[in-house]
Amino acid sequence: MSFFAAKDLCVRVDGFALRGASFQLDRGEYLCVLGPSGTGKSVLLDAIAGFHDVEAGRIVLDGEDISRTPPERRGIGVVYQNHALFPHLNVFGNIAYGLRVRERDGARVRRRVEEMAESLGLSRTLDKRPGSLSGGEQQRTALARALAVRPRLLLMDEPFSSLDPPMRRDLRRVVRDVVGEFGITVVHAAHDLDDLWTLADKALVIEDGRVKAFGGVNAVLGPPCVPFLRRAEGVRVIAGIVLERRDGVSSVEAGGVRLATSDAARAGETVRLVIRPEDVTLYTEKPAGASARNVLESRVTGIHRAGETVLIGLRSERLEFNALLTRDAVENLSLAAEKKIFATIKAVHLNIV
């Protein structure tokens, strides 16, 4: 049985209806909920948290039906895009807020707040009011406040949208580390696909209040994929271990293949790599003297037409990825299922996320 499940969930809010949403997560999984603006992502999250009444369907958390449970008894933490920090409390007061509901021992509350502040790099800001913090510090505070009470599930509604790109990258790293450390299950409404590559195990796409796709990240990205993800169709997110870093190149073992990337990483580190179909070039013969550092002997596993272009599914050892070609190129290469082909990817195009 899954740790968290939404079953045929129907929610109506101010004339908007979320209909028949179903999905499930195992403990510790990270779900990204994607979809255009105003499509029901926030309604879904608020319904899970208990802020909107469920018209039909069930929400099950850790074996318990919480569809009618008041928010304060669900054990679900929330982090919003606008941080929603209590402006009348300082950072300490914000992080301690939920702890003080549960714990009368002031010394234990202080210890826990200091632990959380340490984990999220907030130790120097505990006396500050939210208004005097940077956007990143505010979001870290919101995260620390939510995690301090050890929620069973964490909901994040576009938590990075109000931050500038460098701060977003920093905070994604923080979230990945902290969520990993706490082993917490997360549902994250996102607008930016970088959140998907960087953080998610699973993806859910909602359009017009209905779930259009749900599954593992690579499965949802297809091909084929739903129209909302068309610009990212065939992108592959793969996990690997960094073997070494030498001469500006990191060697990563992923799916039985040794890949080179120009992105910096420490030896022994587990990383995620993104292979974009448009960065893959195919050759019928092994290219000699090519500048690309990754030359992968591969087999064609599928040919998917996508309008004027074609996505070629490829496998090299256990590594699966896609290449985006024109129809002309497919004909020139005489591509067919199981055909042996050489794929190249430049090290600068293979990114650690």
Partner 1 sequence: MRRVSLARVLLVGAAWAMAATILVALASLVLTPSWTRLLGALRSAEIAYALAFTLVSSALSTALVMLFAVPIGYTLSRVRFAGDRLVRTLLYLPMALPQIVLGLCLLLLFGAAPLAQALHALRIDLVFTRTGVVVAQFFTAFPYAVRVLKSTFDAIDPRLEFVSRSLGCSRLETFRRVSLPLARTGLLASVSIAFARCAGAFGSVLVLAGGMRMHTETLPVAIHLNLSYGNLEMAVAAGLLLVLLSSVGIYAVEMMEARP
Stretch that binds partner 1, among 83-91, 114-122, 268-276, 340-348 (CB under 8 A): 83-91
> How many CA atoms within 13 Å lie on the side-chain side of 335?
29
DSSP secondary structure of 7-39: EEEEEEETTEEEEEEEEEE-TT-EEEEE-STTS
C-beta of 49: minimal distance to partner 1 in Å?
A: 6
C-beta of 138: minimal distance to partner 1 in Å?
A: 13
Out of 46, 137, 158, 263, the only residue in the binding site for partner 1 (CB under 8 A) is 46
C-beta of 98: minimal distance to partner 1 in Å?
A: 3
C-beta of 282: minimal distance to partner 1 in Å?
A: 50
- Considering only residues 156 to 195 of the shown chain, the ones binding partner 1 according to CB under 8 A are none
Nearer to partner 1, 72 or 269 (CB): 72
Out of 98, 222, 223, 234, the only residue in the binding site for partner 1 (CB under 8 A) is 98
Total site size for partner 1, rule CB under 8 A: 26
Nearer to partner 1, 42 or 298 (CB): 42
Say whether residue 256 binds partner 1 (CB under 8 A): no
Nearer to partner 1, 92 or 214 (CB): 92
Q: Could you give the CA distance from residue 260 to residue 293 in angstroms, rounded to a whole number? A: 6
Dihedral of alpha carbons 85, 88, 92, 95, sign? negative
Per-residue contact string for residues 101-120; x = within reach of partner 1 by CB under 8 A: xx------------------
What pairing do the DSSP bridges indicate for beta strands 76-80 and 153-157? Answer: parallel
C-beta of 145: minimal distance to partner 1 in Å?
A: 7
What b/e readout covers 226-259, taking b as 16+ CB neighbours within 10 angstroms?
bebbeebbbbbbbebebeebeeebbbbebbebeb
C-beta of 125: minimal distance to partner 1 in Å?
A: 18
| Residues 6+ positions from 277 with CB-CB distance below 8 Å | 233, 234, 235, 311, 321, 322, 323, 324
CA 33 from centroid of its chain's CA atoms: 9
C-beta of 84: minimal distance to partner 1 in Å?
A: 4
Stretch that binds partner 1, among 46-54, 175-183, 245-253, 319-327 (CB under 8 A): 46-54
SS3 label, residue 114: helix
Q: Could you give the CA distance from residue 27 to residue 202 in angstroms, rounded to a whole number? A: 12
Out of 112, 145, 276, 293, the only residue in the binding site for partner 1 (CB under 8 A) is 145
Nearest Cα to Cα of residue 163 among 179, 145, 143, 178 = 143
Say whether residue 277 binds partner 1 (CB under 8 A): no
Q: Please tell me whether the peptide bond between 71 and the residue prior to it is cis, using omega within 30 degrees of 0.
A: no
C-beta of 178: minimal distance to partner 1 in Å?
A: 17
Out of 31, 78, 126, 311, the only residue in the binding site for partner 1 (CB under 8 A) is 78
Q: Are 49 and 76 in contact (CB under 8 A)?
A: yes
Q: Could you give the CA distance from residue 314 to residue 303 in angstroms, rounded to a whole number? A: 9
Residue whose tokens read 């923080």: 174
Nearer to partner 1, 84 or 303 (CB): 84
Residues of the shown chain interacting with partner 1 in the complex, contacts defined by CB under 8 A: 14, 46, 49-51, 70-72, 74, 76-78, 80, 82, 84, 86-88, 97-98, 101-102, 145-146, 149, 151
